[in-house]
Amino acid sequence: MTNVVSLHGGKRWKAVIEYRSDDGPKSVEHYFEEISDLHLIVEHGPDWNLLIRCTLTLNRHDGGEEQNSVAKALSQERLR
């Protein structure tokens, strides 16, 4: 996957996990290489009953803007 530019020690995935706390919602960022590691992160984090949401994205240098751009989507549509 030469088109993937990773951050944080070459980790491919970023999970932002939001938990309920006494002080309101708390977000925690995790970076990891294998998608199969996500369950370990959730299991070893705060009580999973307090989990509000987990947002999983590819860890890209552009924050995903390039891969999600309307122009790119149109370009790919034209190639079909």
- pLDDT, tens digit, 9 for 90 and up, residues 42-72: 999 889 899 999 999 988 766 556 656 666 6
- pLDDT, tens digit, 9 for 90 and up, residues 18-44: 999 999 999 999 999 999 999 999 999
For the entire predicted model, the pTM comes to 0.64
In a domain, 22, yes or no: yes
In a domain, 3, yes or no: no
- pLDDT, tens digit, 9 for 90 and up, residues 1-20: 444 444 456 789 999 999 99
| Number of domains, the chain | 1
In a domain, 2, yes or no: no
In a domain, 1, yes or no: no
Supply the range of the domain harboring residue 39.
13-79
Query: Between the CA of residue 37 and those of 4, 14, 65, 69, what are the distances in Å?
Result: 19, 11, 25, 28
Radius of gyration of the chain (CA): 16
